[in-house]
Amino acid sequence: MIVNTRILLYVIIIVILTVVTLSLIIVLYNSSVVNVGIKVGDYAPNAQFTLDNGTTVDLSDFLHHGHYVLLYFAATWCSSCAYGVLTLSHYAQLLAARNVTVIILEPYNDLGYSGTPVGIFVKYFAGNNSRLFIIGYASLEMTEAYDPHGYPDIYYLISPNGRIIYSNVDLSNTINGLLDVVGVG
């Protein structure tokens, strides 16, 4: 009887912890879609990042040239980020035809986890279309500005005038909203 009571108590504790954990995940996910960092309508803050070849550049170098900029932060240990790069590869030529410059950046220090170097990661999942992307590493300041909550799969669409016009998380599952904004969907 005592053994059965302990087992029942353990089962109840596990169920309660599972419900609390799932509730927290749902709240965090729903809040991330609403506010992932910089808000739609804000001007994109300028920030430095390092290209895969070691050159340091400013985000402003890519703005105000009549092109949209898709700024995608993809942690290289993240499976949904791998699907995001694969999805971008599928739409790469359509996005280029719509004057969208795609920048794929590893967040600063890969958000504290180790993964494949971003250039290898993108080339593996994008194949030959990786040449259509700008690939690099976000600085700490850039990661803090654009990804303050440390989401591994977050992106922004910046208009030619420098305003954020769309943002979301989980690119592979939210691509249709992005494509609608750039007129591809």
pLDDT of residue 159: 94
Q: Strand order in 153-158's β-sheet?
A: 56-58, 48-51, 133-138, 100-106, 68-74, 153-158, 164-169
In-domain check, residue 19: no
DSSP letter for 35, please.
-
For residue 173, being part of any structural domain is answered with yes
In a domain, 120, yes or no: yes
Calculate the CA 64 to chain-centre distance.
22
Say if 7 falls within a structural domain.
Answer: no
Domain count, the chain: 1
Instruction: Check residue 108 and give its pLDDT.
Output: 95
What is the spatial distance between Cα 173 and Cα 29, in angstroms, rounded to a whole number? Answer: 13
Which residues of the chain are under the pLDDT cut of 70?
Answer: 1-36, 185
Predicted TM-score (pTM) of the model is 0.80
* pLDDT at residue 64 in the model: 76
Write down the pLDDT at residue 181: 92
Which helix (H) or strand (E) segment is 86 a member of?
helix 79-97
Look at residue 5 in the predicted model and tell me its pLDDT. 66
Supply the CATH number for residue 100's domain: 3.40.30.10
Containing structural domain, residue 120: 35-182
* pLDDT score of 184: 72
